[in-house]
């Protein structure tokens, strides 16, 4: 227990330090961008610009604004959006996070399950047609951008066959199917590639040969004995990928008109909405370091052979 406490405390310290560095870098980079976040800037007089800068605190020294911003986010205040009717950024993100999280979780769940199944099938038929097919699928899935897949799915199932809505977010679960499929290609390809590689090695192990000698079927051996060990390396990949999908794919959300964080982030960049951009970056970074931390803990719980690094 003492080793676990020391390890977790150390990791939490590094998480906090990482987030501080990300917040600081984001703040200073955003303030180094040219232009201002005001609409119709060219039509504003010098007096109006001075009034707006004073209202939003841009007239203060940069380091003072940085300290004020750190203090605000510690209290859950991420500022106000300068492009969306002065709404609190936290409110905007709260309204947008649900569609992104839903699509991300659906894509990871479907993509992982399908990818694991394809990877196992490929390993069981090593160097044969199914193995070659699954390997080509994994390579293609990693190479083709998800927005290309999104457009193809949209054209085939929405425009040509008219089975599913072309976009928007007003038909319940049916509206999520096409963007989920588009986003699931990446985790499916990654899962297939990892599982196939690990399963080929696992299926040649001594304990697998012993299971075969006992008369067990290949399917039972693969899914009951081999898959458990093959899943361990996949965990480290799925964590960051889940966060990436949960926080929204910028282009896919725009293609399907999904009112998620990705769409919000794109609009904020185009309009130099400083506080919104920084808040989305902080949200993504917090989720990422948290998932990586939980993944490391889970990895060591699943595999007792892994020692707690730095806990001695």
* 240-294 pLDDT, tens digit each: 777 777 665 777 888 888 888 877 777 787 777 888 888 888 888 888 888 888 8
Q: Is residue 73 part of a domain?
A: no
Identify which has the larger pLDDT, 63 or 298. Answer: 63
pLDDT grade for 24, boundaries at 50, 70 and 90: very high
Residue 262 lies in domain = 98-266
106 domain-assigned: yes
**230 closest CA partner among 133, 122, 104, 129:** 122
Q: Is 240 exposed, middle or buried (0-12, 13-18, 19+ CB in 10 A)?
A: middle
Residue 308 Ramachandran class (φ > 0 left, ψ -120 to 50 alpha, else beta): beta
- Asked if residue 151 is part of any domain, the answer here is yes
Report which of 221, 195, 190 is spatially closest to residue 107, judged by C-alpha positions.
Answer: 190
% residues pLDDT > 70 (the chain)? 89
| Mean pLDDT along residues 113-138 | 86
Cα–Cα distances (Å) from 48 to 42, 43, 54, 58, in that order, read 11, 10, 10, 13
Residue 203 maps to a domain: yes
d(CA 185, CA 200): 22
β-partners of residue 80 are: 88
The CA distance from 108 to 174, in Å, is 18
| Tokens matching residue 7 | 């390890």
Q: Is residue 229 part of a domain?
A: yes
Residue 75 CA to residue 5 CA, distance in Å, equals: 27
Given pLDDT bands bounded at 50, 70 and 90, which one contains residue 310? very low
| Per-residue pLDDT reduced to its tens digit, 174-223 | 888 899 998 888 888 888 888 888 887 777 777 777 777 777 777 777 77
Answer whether 158's CB lies under 8 Å from 166's CB.
Answer: yes
CB 253 within 8 A of CB 100: yes
pLDDT of 312 strictly over 70 = no
Q: What is the mean pLDDT of residues 108-123?
A: 88
- Number of domains observed in the structure of the chain: 1
Residue count (the chain): 312
Distance of CA 142 to the CA centre of its chain: 15
- In a domain? residue 290: no
Measured in whole angstroms, how far is the alpha carbon of residue 143 from the centre of its chain?
18
281 lies in some domain: no
Q: Is 64 domain-assigned?
A: no
CATH number at residue 110: 1.10.3720.10
Greater confidence, 205 or 66? Answer: 66
Residue among 293, 292, 279, 307 at smallest CA distance from 95: 279
pTM: 0.76
Name the average pLDDT for the chain. Answer: 80
For 3, 108, 119, the CA distances from 42, given in Å and listed in that order, are: 60, 45, 57
């Amino acid at each position: 227990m003492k080793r676990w406490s020391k390890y977790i405390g150390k990791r939490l310290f590094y998480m906090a330090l990482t987030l501080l560095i990300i917040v600081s870098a984001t703040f200073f980079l955003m303030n180094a961008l040219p232009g201002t976040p005001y609409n119709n800037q060219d039509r504003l007089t010098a007096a109006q610009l001075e009034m707006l800068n004073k209202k939003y605190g841009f007239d203060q020294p940069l380091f003072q604004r940085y300290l004020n911003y750190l203090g605000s986010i510690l209290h859950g205040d991420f500022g106000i959006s300068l492009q969306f009717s002065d709404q609190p950024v936290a409110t905007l993100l709260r309204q947008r996070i649900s569609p992104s999280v839903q699509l991300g979780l659906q894509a990871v769940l479907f993509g992982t399950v399908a990818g694991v199944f394809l990877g196992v099938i490929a390993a069981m038929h090593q160097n044969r047609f199914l193995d070659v097919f699954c390997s080509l699928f994994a390579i293609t899935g990693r190479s083709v951008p998800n927005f290309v897949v999104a457009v193809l799915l949209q054209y085939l199932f929405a425009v040509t066959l008219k089975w599913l809505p072309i976009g928007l977010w007003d038909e319940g679960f049916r509206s999520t199917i096409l963007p989920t499929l588009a986003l699931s290609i990446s985790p499916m390809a990654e899962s297939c590639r990892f599982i196939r590689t690990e399963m080929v090695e696992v299926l040649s192990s001594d304990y697998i040969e012993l299971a075969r000698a006992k008369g067990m079927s290949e399917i039972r051996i693969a899914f009951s004995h081999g898959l458990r060990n093959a899943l361990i390396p996949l965990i480290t990949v799925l964590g960051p990928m889940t966060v990436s999908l949960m926080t929204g794919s910028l282009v896919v959300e725009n293609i399907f008109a999904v009112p998620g964080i990705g769409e919000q982030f794109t609009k904020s960049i185009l309009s130099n909405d400083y506080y919104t951009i920084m808040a989305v970056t902080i949200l993504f970074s917090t989720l990422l370091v948290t998932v990586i931390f939980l993944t490391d803990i889970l990895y060591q719980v699943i595999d007792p052979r892994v020692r707690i690094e730095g806990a001695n």
